[in-house]
Structures are given as structure tokens and as C-alpha cells.
Structure 1
Amino acid sequence: MRKTVLLLLALALLAVQAGPAQAATDVKMAGDARAYGLFFANRNFTGWDETGTRTEDRTTIWQRLRLRTDFVANENLAFRFGLRIDDETWGSGYLTAANPQVAIEPYLAYLQFKWPGTDIEMTAGYQPFSVPQTEVFYDSIVLAADDGDQASAALFVNIPIIEDTLAIEAAYGRLLDANRTYQPTTTQVGDTFDVYRLALPITVEGFDIAPWGLVGVYGKDADPDGNFTAGLRSAGSFLDPTGYKDNQNPMWWTGLALSVTALDPVNLYFDGIYGNAAGSDRSRNRRQGWFFDAGLTYTGLDWATPGLFGWAGSGEDSSLSNGSERLPVITPKWGPGTAFLFDCDQEFANNSLAIDPTGTWGVAAAIRDISFIEALKSRLTLAAIAGRNSPAGLRQAVAATGGPGEYVTMGRNLARGEWVLGVNFDHSYALTEALTLTLQTGFAAPQGLKTGIWGHRLTNQAGDAWMTALGFLYTF
């Protein structure tokens, strides 16, 4: 693997050197490098991990690298190849003294072209793949690309209907394939997770609206590592006999993303989503729910951009026998105003509480791009989030899945009567045009954590969370 990656790097460098001499292909490279120290106390509102079985290390140093190379033949044909050295702490993984592990991995590899004689654009390969969500919430709560960091193997087609006004977006993606070409036995078992996406983005002056739909076919043995377990399954599916009954389970979502800029400098945003997973399986294995969010920003100030945000999602009822009532999600990356409570668009990774917004309601206020001093920008975000899940439902979920942190986690999945207050104050100072020094701080306080759900041991240990991150971000 190491030799293969080094060979690919050598070929990319040769292409860069040869680029100027070959008029047929223009080679462009871009990327970013980040190195930062992180102090995080009570990441799970305790000094332990999610299950309460390991003690946290509060101070770590992280780094990462992204490199994207575009091979552009002309405006109708291009290929992007992305390599990364992923987020890792100093002294572990590939950042140990002897570097025994492979550090470099591809994270983007896709071909983009226009069908000859038309404006139909096609993208094939390992690419950013998501469903529409308004920009103030960063990315999708259902299927997010996270600026390419969560790429998927997919075929994407954009068909313009009315220039700059209406298009049809159709896509197919294979998110999981557990056994590749051959099954482990002669009995055929569903081992893939395929999704089909359709969107109709409409843009008129002052309005952007994108109705969309996503359909999936989920094989019962598609996810042996449990990557999507917490987001797609119900707690009832852990009861004996465990797992899905049907070999293939249909899953579907429908939604609408709406942005209104006609009232500028006041801008309005709204998303509405409904999803259903495994609706034809046993009742206890099903998961279905809804989620809405809305936001307002004001862009009429030279020194800042304030915003208000709210959201609500369906929560669990008191029974496991009828499945889950929360919105099913695949790879969410969602958050209002870069709130510290959620894993969204923070400049540094691993420094959020990553609270699950499904089964909650909440409000947030953010003042972004605060600038009183040249080269210094700041961001202040306050958020409050409360649970909409039945305490009895979460208590049964903990018992059915093997304990806290196995499927639902104290402080991340909230019952009615539980809530969290959070604030983050972040700053970025431009040392040069390409290099910034970034400081991020966060504080969160849990309230009303229920002993009847999580047990005395965890709730007695619970306390406030504190985070500070300081580091460099170089963009090239």
C-alpha cells in the first residue's frame, strides 16, 4: 500500500512538471495544512469515554493535510485527485517516532465532464455526495459530504432545464459493499447499501428552493462494523432475534431546502425533512421521523453578521416494540452558527461535543465575522438544546443495546427534561494572506441528566465541559 501511494504521488508530481509543456492538460494543486493543540475537559460531561470505561486524556496535539490536484483538459473535461494525511494526534498512528503506519490515503478521485454537444454535466467516482441543506446549517443532517471529507462512490448527473434557473440533479451512490465480489457463503445475503438521489434546484431572483428525495436499499449484512448503526437502526432491532428480518430494506427521505434573499440584508432559511428506514421490516426494527430548522441572518453591518436559528425533530416514544420515532440519518454534519455543541464546520476537528440533534429542539444565536481589528475575525455563538425523547424510551434503549454509550449516550441523546447550554468564542488572526492563527474556546453545561436512564455512576460524575484549541491553518 505504501509503495502504491508513493507511486501515485510521484506520478502527480511528474504531471505537474510536465503540465506547462503539454497544452492539452492544465494541472492545478490546492490544499491546506493544520496543526493545533487541544484541551478538552469532560468531553462526554464526565472524565471518561461514552461508556464510562476509559479515562480521557485532556490535552492532545493534532495535525492534518489535504492536497487536491485538478487535471483540466478543457472547460468540459477534468479529473480531481485528492490525497490526505488524516487528523491524528502526535505520538500515535503515523505520528509516532518511527512512523510504522501508512499515512497517506486518497479521499477524492472523480472524473467530471459535459456530455458532448450538451450542457449535461456528469461526475463519476469517489466524490462529495450529499442532499440539499441551507448553507447556514453547514451541511446535511441526513447525508453530508463535509467539504469532501465524507466522499462517496457515486455517479452524479446535472441536467440544466432553464439556464441558471432550473435543473434536474440525479445521482446513484454505493455507500457500503461489505463483501465486494463474492459472498462468504453460497447463500446470497444483502451486503450493499445503495442510494438514489433526485433534486430539482430552482433559482429565481431572491429565492433558492431545492425539493429533493433520497431512496436507499440497505442489505441486512451491509454494515458489519456498525458504521451507520446509531443513525439508521432502532433500539428495538437489538432485541433477540437481533437485526433486520428482511434481506433488503427500503429507506427513503424527502425534503425541501429554501433560502430567501429577496429581503436583503435580512436573509431567511428553512429546511424540512421526513425519513423512513426499514418500513417493511418488523415493527420494532423500523425508524421514521421528521426534522425542521429555520434561520435568519442580517448582512447589513460592516463589522459582523448576526443570526438567529431554531430547530425541532421528532423524538422517541416510550415503546421499543413500534421502532424508533427519530429521523434516520446516514452521515450527518449539521450545526447552526458553528455551534460548539454540534459537529459541523469548525476549523479544527475533534473539538465539538457532537450532540445528536435528532430527537431535540433548540435555539441558537451567532455573531459571525466580527471584525474591529484588521486581520482579526471573531465568532460568538450561544445555543440551548433540549430533548424530545421519552425518558422511558431511552431507558429501554440503554437496556436493550448493552448500556450507555452503545447506542445512545448521556449528554448526546437527550430526553425530555434534559438540556444543554453551550457557548463558543472563536478567533482567527491572519498572520499572512495564507496563514492564520486560530483560537477556539467552548463551554457547555448539562442540566437535568436522568439517573433513571444513565445510572447513578455516570450522572454523579457529570459536570461542565471546557474546550480550548489553538493552532495554525495554512491554505495553499
Structure 2
Amino acid sequence: MRGKRFLAALLFLAAFATEAAAATEVRMAGDARVYGVFFANRNFTGWDETGTQTEDRMTIWQRLRLRSDFVANENLKFRLGLRIDDEAWGHGYLTAANPQVAIEPYLAYLQFKWPGTDIEVTAGYQPLSVPHTEVFYDSIVLAADDGDQSSAALHLNIPVGENLSVQAAYARLLSANRTFQQTTTQVGDAFDTYQLALPVTLDGFAATPWGLLGVYGKGSDPENLFAAGLRSAASYLSESGYPYKDNQNAMWWAGLALTVEAADPVKFYFDGIYGDAAPADRERNRRRGWFFDAGVTYSGFDWMLPGVFGWVASGEDSSLGNGSERLPIITPKWGPGTSFLFDCDQEFANNSIGVDPTGTWGLAASLRDVSFIEALKSRLTVAVIAGTNSVAGLRKAVVATGGVGEYVTMGRNLAEGEWLIGVNFDNSYAITEQLSLTMQTGFASPQGLKTSIWGHRFTQQAENAFMGSLGFLYTF
């Protein structure tokens, strides 16, 4: 049934394209992925984050993306993106009876230039992220993940001369009740953000200072979708369940993304960010911190792109009473050199450790686009990451939030003295120009895990993690 609905949707698009062809050019593109993942000790145990479920090590996944651009002219277009999201064979819409809805929109936005100007307006469900240097894939605060994490937003790009532009955006990330609320007492039920960026581009140099302001309503996130990234551990002690005393709370971030290419083929990258969530609320509910990363790549080889990366972030102190000292984050997608320790720009999903970069420091080295054989490209990345969080602070966070995995997770949130080493070796063979066979492998080893934080049950179970993925990627 769901397959028939997807076919009907494609036929509708084709029919619409035929009717509109006289006035509108229709362009379609997308990708399909079918792959298997073997993952042993994803959380460095045989369990889930909370230690209440046992992992299934072998899973086969597939997904589909279809993007259609309806182009009236170079100044006016609309993009519609439909997806059948990553799902495991035998589950959800991929069962024999196919009982669940499979198709969902993930892009739907209008883009045009205001007549007589170069001002570009983008309105609708669109990729929206705060600036971050491309070598780390996307933002650690608010990322679009190549459109997979879209936001309902209005974005303006206003050129000011040849080297400067002003970018402003408003987005409504959450709205729990839509038009009417559940009671006659007004409650803030939306999470809105306001963004400003000033990209400056000169010969061999690009810098983007930016700022992000959020207004978080009391009833905006009943499912706690953003709780782990925005809240402090002490806020979980609230008797009402709502983490703040105020009906609405402000949150703000400021940052700089810097790229230097003047010494090409050597390129330098730097990001600096500071954020403060709920600064006017009770001190224990506040979360504020900073994050810096830097990288250098060398593009002088035609058969390899080497790079070295480093980062450091503020971590929790030993007290819950003064809130959290980690950078507040909304929807992160950040990672150096496609390290499988982080959920970033891997070709396949569900095959990374998913370490939280806040409260850590680390180093990574990668050899990307290694090609000695025609049609075969390889990537090797080694990363070492250690914690900057207080041992006492994480121990108290586990107690305050109800146990391991509820707010912080062993191996993903690291204390001082805890560290991980991760190695991944990935290969992609081009069967044809559009079809590739991709294999990804990864190894991660935890060291120094603290029994005083996670307890004997978790630390005694801890083992190295192993990952292997193999599948097909078709782009069209």
C-alpha cells in the first residue's frame, strides 16, 4: 500500500511537470542507499545507553531521497524534497505487510530574488544552520545535515558590495500546539530562533561572524527533543518537570568561522563559539560554555588530501548548583575528517559512535580521497578524544537525571581522565559514474572509564567497539 502511494506521488510529480513544462523547467535529483551494518558494542557494552536493552549487531538499512526543483527562471524557483527515511529491513515500512507511512517531505521551500535587487529570499522548510568551517562538515550548534535536518524558516541574503553580505533568518523550530493551546492560560509553546551572519570574503580569506538568539517556551518541547543539548543536569530536579522558572527563556550564541587559503595548497580553518542558555533563570538551570576547533589541510597532491584537526571545549565543574558549563547545542552535526567517533558526514547512517564533542578536547588526522587505483577512493582517519568534564560533576549529573544514559552516557560523555581512540578505514568503488559500492570499517577503544560515575555494572562490561558497513549508493 505505501509503495503504491509513493508511486502515485512520483506519477503526480511527473504529471505536474508535464503540465508546467511550458512555463517552468523541472529538474529532479536524488539518491538511493541500501547497506548493511555490523556493530559490536556500539555503547562499549552489549546494551543500549541505559543498560536496559541488548543490541542486535547486524542490521540492513535502506533510504531514498528525491529532490525536485521547479524553476521559472534564474530568479524564482521552488524545491520539494521527499524521502523514505533510513529504516531497517523487516521493520516499519519495510515489513512484509508494510503497515506504516513511508513517504515524508524533508524540503519544501520557495527561493527568489526581490525584483530589481540581488536580495535573495528563501521561505519554507529549508536547510538552516549557523556558519561553521566546511572542514568539520556542519555546525555543532544548529546544523542542516545537507537538508536532512531542515527548519521552517525565512532567510534573507543581502549583498553589500562584492566582499560582504548580510544574512538574516527567523526560524520556528518547535510549536507544540499550533494555533490553539490546551488551556485558557497562555503558555509559551514555541521555540523560535533569530540569526544574523556577516560573511566577508577577500582574496584567500573568508570570515563569518555570526549570532543566534533563541526564545524557548515553557510548553514548546513536551517530548524533550532538545533537552540533552540545552539543559543543565540540575534542571531535571524541577518538581514541575519544566526545566526553567520562567514561561519563556532566552538563549544566545555568538561565533566566528574563519578560513584562510592565502597559502594554498595549505588551508587553515578555525571556529570559535560561546553560548548561554537561560541566562536570566535560576543559576542551577543555566547552561553556558565555549567551543573552539581548528584544522589544516594540504591539497597539493592529486591523489590524496591530508588533514590535521584539533578542538577543545569547556566542561562541567564539580557543582550542580551553578548550572552546566558545557556549550548548549540544538541539532549538532560536527566531526573532523569523517571520524566514526562522531555522527557527521558518513555516507551511511547508524554506523558511528556518536560521541558528544562538548566537554572534550581532541586531535584527529585524516587521509582523504586516497586513490592509487582507478575508480577506488579510500579514507583513513585516526582520532583521540579526552574529557574536560569534572568526575564529580558527571557523577552528580547521573544521579540527578535518573541514571546512566538519561542525560549523560558512558563513552559518549567523557570526564577528565577518560579518553577514546578511534580508527576508521573507508573505501568507495565506482561501479559506474552514478553507482558505487562503499565499505566502511571502524574501531574504538575506551580508556580510563570511571566506576565512580558509571558504576561497576557498566565499567566492567565495557569493551572495544567494532563496526563494518557495506552497501550501494546510487545518485541520480
- Distance in 2, matches of 1:277 and 1:11, equals 45
**Alpha-carbon offset, residue 162 of structure 1:** 1.1
Q: Does 1:181 align with 2:188?
A: no
- Distance in 2, matches of 1:383 and 1:203, equals 31
Partner in structure 2 of residue 317 of structure 1: 317
**Alpha-carbon offset, residue 233 of structure 1:** 0.3
Opposite residue 226 of structure 1, the aligned amino acid is N
SS at match of 2:17: helix
- Distance in 2, matches of 1:19 and 1:350, equals 39
**Alpha-carbon offset, residue 10 of structure 1:** 3.6
Opposite residue 170 of structure 1, the aligned amino acid is A
Decide whether the 8 Å contact of 1:410 with 1:454 is kept in 2.
yes
Percent same amino acid among aligned pairs? 75
Q: Does 1:300 align with 2:272?
A: no
Correspondences of 1:71-470 after superposition (within 5 Å): 71-163=70-162, 165-241=163-239, 242=241, 243-470=243-470
Decide whether the 8 Å contact of 1:258 with 1:271 is kept in 2.
yes
SS at match of 2:399: helix
Decide whether the 8 Å contact of 1:305 with 1:370 is kept in 2.
yes
TM-score (norm 2): 0.98
Opposite residue 199 of structure 1, the aligned amino acid is A
- Distance in 2, matches of 1:9 and 1:177, equals 30
Decide whether the 8 Å contact of 1:15 with 1:27 is kept in 2.
no
SS at match of 1:142: coil
SS at match of 2:64: strand
Instruction: Tell me the alpha carbon deviations over residues 114-158 of structure 1, each in whole angstroms, 9 at most, x when there is no partner.
Output: 011111000000000000000000000000000000000000000
- Distance in 2, matches of 1:136 and 1:18, equals 42
Opposite residue 164 of structure 2, the aligned amino acid is L
SS at match of 1:395: helix
Partner in structure 2 of residue 31 of structure 1: 30
Decide whether the 8 Å contact of 1:154 with 1:172 is kept in 2.
yes
Return 5+ residue gaps in structure 1 as ranges: none
Partner in structure 1 of residue 57 of structure 2: 58
- Distance in 1, matches of 2:293 and 2:438, equals 29
Instruction: Tell me the alpha carbon deviations over residues 72-114 of structure 1, each in whole angstroms, 9 at most, x when there is no partner.
Output: 0000100000000000000000000011111100000000000
Instruction: Tell me the alpha carbon deviations over residues 209-263 of structure 1, each in whole angstroms, 9 at most, x when there is no partner.
Output: 0000000000121111011000000001011334211000000000000000000
SS at match of 2:14: helix
Opposite residue 461 of structure 2, the aligned amino acid is Q
- Distance in 2, matches of 1:181 and 1:397, equals 37
Q: Does 1:48 align with 2:47?
A: yes
Return 5+ residue gaps in structure 2 as ranges: none
- Distance in 1, matches of 2:43 and 2:415, equals 16
Instruction: Tell me the alpha carbon deviations over residues 302-323 of structure 1, each in whole angstroms, 9 at most, x when there is no partner.
Output: 2101000000000000000100
SS at match of 1:373: coil
- Distance in 2, matches of 1:381 and 1:363, equals 11
- Distance in 2, matches of 1:169 and 1:466, equals 43
**Alpha-carbon offset, residue 16 of structure 1:** 2.7
Opposite residue 179 of structure 1, the aligned amino acid is N
Decide whether the 8 Å contact of 1:5 with 1:105 is kept in 2.
no
Partner in structure 2 of residue 12 of structure 1: 13
SS at match of 2:49: coil
- Distance in 2, matches of 1:71 and 1:258, equals 34
SS at match of 1:400: helix
Instruction: Tell me the alpha carbon deviations over residues 3-57 of structure 1, each in whole angstroms, 9 at most, x when there is no partner.
Output: 987765443121233354x1x2000000000000100000000000000000000
TM-score (norm 1): 0.98
SS at match of 2:99: coil
**Alpha-carbon offset, residue 387 of structure 1:** 0.2
RMSD of aligned Cα (Å): 1.2
Decide which moves more: 224-233 or 239-248. Answer: 239-248
Opposite residue 437 of structure 2, the aligned amino acid is L
- Distance in 1, matches of 2:8 and 2:276, equals 45
Opposite residue 430 of structure 1, the aligned amino acid is A
Query: How many residue pairs get matched?
Result: 473
SS at match of 1:53: coil
